[in-house]
Amino acid sequence: MDQSLLNPGDKSSANDDSPRSVAAVVQSFLNPVPEIEDSSGPSTSKRITTTRMITSQEFVDQMQEREEKKREEEELKAQRKREREEKKVEKSRLSEEKKRQAAEKRRLAEEKKRLALEQKENQKGKQVKRRNTRKRNKQIVEDNNLSDVDDPNSEMDKENVDPRADINGGRQSTTASQEEEEDALCGKCARSFLHDFRGEKWIRCSNCEIWYHNKCLGLRDSFFSLTFICPDCK
C-alpha cells in the first residue's frame, strides 16, 4: 500500500513500513474521521465512508434474526395451508349434507306418492266392492220380480229410481242397501256418508260410480246430471 496516497503532506512516511505505521492505516479505516466544523467561516464537513468489519457476535445475531424470520414465514405458510384444507373439508361436508337432504326429500316425496297410490287403490277397491254389492242386490230384486210377476197381490215398488241420483240432506235416493249408504265416501275429501250432517249435495260419476260432493268438484248445489263424468274419468 502506497503511504503517500494516505498522507500526501508527509513524504517521510511514504517509505515507512514499520508495524506501527501499518496499524495506524488500518485504524484509520476502521474509525472514520468525524465531521469538522470551522466557526470562523462557512461550515464544512468531511465524511469518510468506510466498511466496518462486523464482530462474530453481530454475525451470530444476524443469522439468528434471519432464522427467526424464516421460521415465522414457514409457520405463516403452514397456517394458510391448514386454513385452505379446513375450508376444503367444510365445503365437502356441506356438499355431502346437501346431497343427503336432497336424497331425503326425494325419499319422502316417493313415500308420499306411494301412500297416495295405496289410498287411491284402497278407495277403488271399496268402490268395486260396493258396485258388486249393488249388482247382486239388483239381481236379487229382478229375480223376485220375475217370481212375483203372476201374483196380483204382490206389492212392488213401481217407482223408477235412477241409481245416479244425488244424495240430498243425508238421504241417498238409490236402490243401494243401507250398508252401501253408510259406506259411501266422497272421491275428493274421502268423508263418509254418515259423517256428513250438513245436507250437502252429492253426485255420482256414471262411469266409475264414485260419489262426490258438488262443492268438492266446484259445482253448484243445484247442479245434477244423470250422465255426469268425474274429472278422473275424463
Q: Which residues contact 183 (CB under 8 A, 6 or more apart)?
A: 126, 130, 192, 193
The DSSP annotation for the chain comes to --HHHH-TT-SGGGG---HHHHHHHHHHHHSPPPP---SSSS---------PPPPHHHHHHHHHHHHHHHHHHHHHHHHHHHHHHHHHHHHHHHHHHHHHHHHHHHHHHHHHHHHHHHHHHHHHHHHHHHHHHHHHHHHHHHHHHHHTTT-TT---------TTPPEETTEE-SS--HHHHHH-BBTTT--BSTT--S---EEE-TTT--EEETTTTT--TT---TT---TTT-
Report yes or no: 204 and 228 within 8 Å, Cβ to Cβ.
yes
CA atoms within 13 A on the CB side of 118: 6
**Average pLDDT over every residue of 4-30:** 50
Confidence grade of residue 170 (pLDDT, cut at 50, 70, 90): very low
Whether 231 has a pLDDT exceeding 80, the answer reads yes
d(Cα 190, Cα 177) in Å, to the nearest integer? 20
pTM of the model: 0.28
Predicted local confidence at residue 89, as pLDDT = 93
More confident residue, 122 or 199: 122
| Cell numbers that stand for 44 in this block | 464544512
Whether 111 has a pLDDT exceeding 80, the answer reads yes
Whether 173 has a pLDDT exceeding 50, the answer reads no
Q: How many CB atoms lie within 10 A of CB 147?
A: 10
Confidence grade of residue 163 (pLDDT, cut at 50, 70, 90): very low
d(Cα 203, Cα 212) in Å, to the nearest integer? 5
d(Cα 36, Cα 74) in Å, to the nearest integer? 49
**Average pLDDT over every residue of 141-148:** 59
Confidence grade of residue 161 (pLDDT, cut at 50, 70, 90): very low
Residue pLDDT, tens place only, 26-64: 555 555 544 444 445 554 445 555 556 778 888 888 899
